[in-house]
Structure 1
Amino acid sequence: MKILKIIFIGLITTMTRILVQWLIPAGSQNILLPSKFALNNTLPVVFSIYGLFAYSLIASMFLLVCGKMSGRKIIQGLKYGLSCSVIWVVYLLEPLPHVAMLDCITYPLADSLVLIVMGALCGLLLGENKKIQPHKSHFSLLSILTIMSCFILARYVLYLFYDIYSSFDTYPLPTLWWCILSSSVISCVIMWLNDYVDEHNFMKRSLVLGGILFGIDLTLFNFFMPLVFEINIADLLLRTISDIAAVTVGCVISQKVTSFTIQKGCKE
């Protein structure tokens, strides 16, 4: 039954994204060539199929966190949708050579709206109304700074030694500021999700947070791009895997430090 609900959520979310796309002004860029799907007019079909798959998978990950959420189920879903949308927004704001200023406004608004709609549907169809329960937050400045440091270091390595597709050579300072902004947002989202992951083993918890909740969300987001543009898939994979690995390693270190601190406090 849940699988049908998830597919239904994916279908409605994809339809919403297609409708919203019609409202976005057509942009112009001469950096990237159009994809083969855009050239042979199969993009609407391919986008619909991939969108159904991507949004359904993102919706299914709500089940990893909703068990420990309390309050009205629609609010639970909206919170989850918002957590997904802010990740997409910071990546849409990445200063890449082909990105126009208008795109930095229209696409974050469009994708945020769609993911919030998806979140509301997740709450309504997959969530449960629960009495609000007080819980201790796992927010930690040290954990946030740890994840940020891992992300920024990994990106810096990619820019300097692997020459990934970016604006680092032309606009190094804005690119580094974006790394700081995006890593801080990602870290805060991870710490918020950490409150709702029902896994006590620090390694498994880190893999769920960094590898699944963040990693799958980022991968599905990134691979919308080859549907529209002719890009270097190896470069896209490298950036995606590096970001996921960096965040996951940051989660492992922060979880281990937190666990050690708690054990030390108990002994004292």
Structure 2
Amino acid sequence: MNNVTTSKFKGLTTFDLKIIGIILMFIDHIHQMFVPMGAPSWLDWFGRPVAILFFFVSVVGFSHTRSKEKYMMRLYVGMVIMTLGSFALQKIIGYEEVQLMNNIFRDILVGTLMMYGIDKISEGNSNKKVSKIVWGIVIILFPIITSGILLSLMSNPNTVMVAVQIVTFVPALLFTENGLMVLLIPLLYLAKDYRWLQCTLIALAALFYFFQGSTQWMMIFAVLPIMLFNGEKGRGMRNFFYVFYPLHIWILYLISAYVYMH
């Protein structure tokens, strides 16, 4: 008798979630880059769950990383390189029909800072150290405070260029790609031991966008792969994502510019 080996589905790993996110993101960015050529708006729908998938993965990654400081530093370097690279590319090419505003590194960094602050507050509560609690609160509020300062600088014609330069190097909540939706990261972190609660938070946010008439409500579809997450890391691809994210955006931008100008 032949032994038949049957493979059973064991759920999705962090690697699988990242791959799903990257594929959907790539389709979304095709829409973004080729809008001047009439790219159909429905391509944009594929990207609606992407931020949520990466937010969830960042919560998992931050919870298990050996050095949370190094984790944040990698995101910070990614944020700065992405901002400077996109700015330089647009200046060199001069293709104004598409604006490079993408920087998921900034979103995740802001969310990670808030997770870090939550950890400090938790440590302060455990050790009865008020200083750590205060420090944690300061860290959480930092991206919010910087947002207020930058908005104030931008409202003044004399300081607007200074603000633009500062944005490159300072994580600010209101200057993230996804805005207030980034607050889901610390919320998902607080609920990290309760998957059902994480999915409920995502569903509530999706409901908000639905009543706002925004296609961002389609973020609800991120719940399915998140529910299938098995808690395992899977294959490592950290460096791949840090390289792939800016490169695919810049390459698509160059292709779009070439097609449009010819």
**TM-score normalised by length of structure 2:** 0.29
Pair member with larger Rg? 2
Q: TM-score, normalised by structure 1?
A: 0.28
